[in-house]
Amino acid sequence: MSVTTGQVKRAFKYRFYPTDAQAAELSRTFGCVRKVYNLALAARTEAWARQERVNYHQTSAMLTVWKKTGELAYLNDVSSVPLQQCLRHLQTAFTHFFGKRAKYPRFKSRKKSRKSAEYTTSGFRFREGKLTLAKMREPLEIVWSRPLPEGASPSTVTVSQDAAGRWFVSMLCDDASVKPLAKTDTAVGIDVGLTHLLALSTGEKIANPRHERWDRARLAKAQRNLAKKARGSNNRAKARRKAARVHARIADRRRDLLHQLTTRLVRENQTLVIEDLTVRNMVKNHTLARAISDASWSEFRSMLEYKAAWYGREVVVVDRFFPSSKLCSTCGTLQEEMPLNVRTWTCEGCGTTHDRDVNAAKNLLAAGRAVQACGAGVRPQRSSPGGQSVMKQEVSRREP
């Protein structure tokens, strides 16, 4: 989602129910997209070994040659638009790789890769609220859970199928209704955790619903049933979809809550201060990995940042080594030791009793104001042995 002059590029996602013919056509398209992507990646990898570079235009010419061979003639049976788009996506992946923003592109797996196909304006027709894709006679039966922006017409359409077998269509449109909100003087520090999902500098705590924990028994049962089925059988495919539906239920509920929280925080505050956490390293702790993944701190930050950009708010990120928990927000005294099981503590300097999480949020807010004033991140001396990265202090050693 990006912001342009006077308007926002916004994706609207809907669920749809294809006919048998449409499902078969889309499944063929997904397979062809994966095949072309892998062929192009193999060609570019071989060229890279020869110290040569192949760009999008050269892979597009290769696609034309592939279609004329008897072995790959089936590529002509699907729309050429998604095939060209996957080559553009591969070009973007290599651009990020050469810019050292991502790892080397990987081949798409038939079982594990996301099933999707992207259509540009030449690959679909959108008239009177009906969407018809190339190579299809009938429009898709879309459940319009919310209307598109008035007068908006999609520039690209992405069709996908998740592991649970659900079909989705995402339409990228210009949304002029998203405008900056009126500026306010309010600011808030946000400390994320596991016992409470969020602790705010205002003193408010938002409980962690632990969506995965509520469905853990159901998920375990579905996974046990899956493990008992013979590989390649229809029963195994049914069991896999059943387990995927449990995962989808958990993810949907988690995403819905995060959308509500981030929208509320962005609407109420002009400045939002968060901590820069390396979640990728933190989940290496196998005791806490499940709880950290369920809290979804990275997705929370991502939503907060793009919504702040939409509505003219500012997100300030404080360095991860800032001792927000051990620092007294009243007098600034730094405690030498604070075990992870201590949730309330009394400052030795001023005698103030603090709630660990709320105190951390207040310190983050103060550090965020310093970042705004100085234009630099807060990075005190590392306190961990050997100068190694320390895990977030607010995370307890065992999942609550």
The answer to whether the CB of 117 falls within 8 A of the CB of 29 is: yes
CB neighbours (10 Å) of residue 30? 22
What is the rounded (10 degree) CA torsion for 251, 256, 262, 265?
A: -140
Smallest Cα–Cα separation from 178: which of 282, 266, 90? 266
Cα 167 to the center of its chain, rounded Å = 19
Q: Residue 275 catalytic?
A: yes
CB neighbours (10 Å) of residue 325? 20
CA angle, corner 274, sides to 272 and 276, nearest 5? 145
Give the amino acid at 68: K
Q: Give me the residues paired with residue 292 across strands.
A: none
Q: Residue 191 catalytic?
A: yes
Distance CA 285, CA 306 (A): 29
Give the amino acid at 391: M
Cα 393 to the center of its chain, rounded Å = 24
Q: Which is catalytic among the residues 25, 175, 212, 275? A: 275
Structure tokens at 215: 């469905």
CB neighbours (10 Å) of residue 283? 15
Instruction: Find where tokens 């540009």 sit.
Output: 120
Query: 355 — phi, psi (to 5°)?
Result: -85, 130
DSSP tag of 165:
S
Q: Which is catalytic among the residues 191, 212, 294, 394? A: 191
Residue positions annotated with a catalytic role: 191, 275, 357
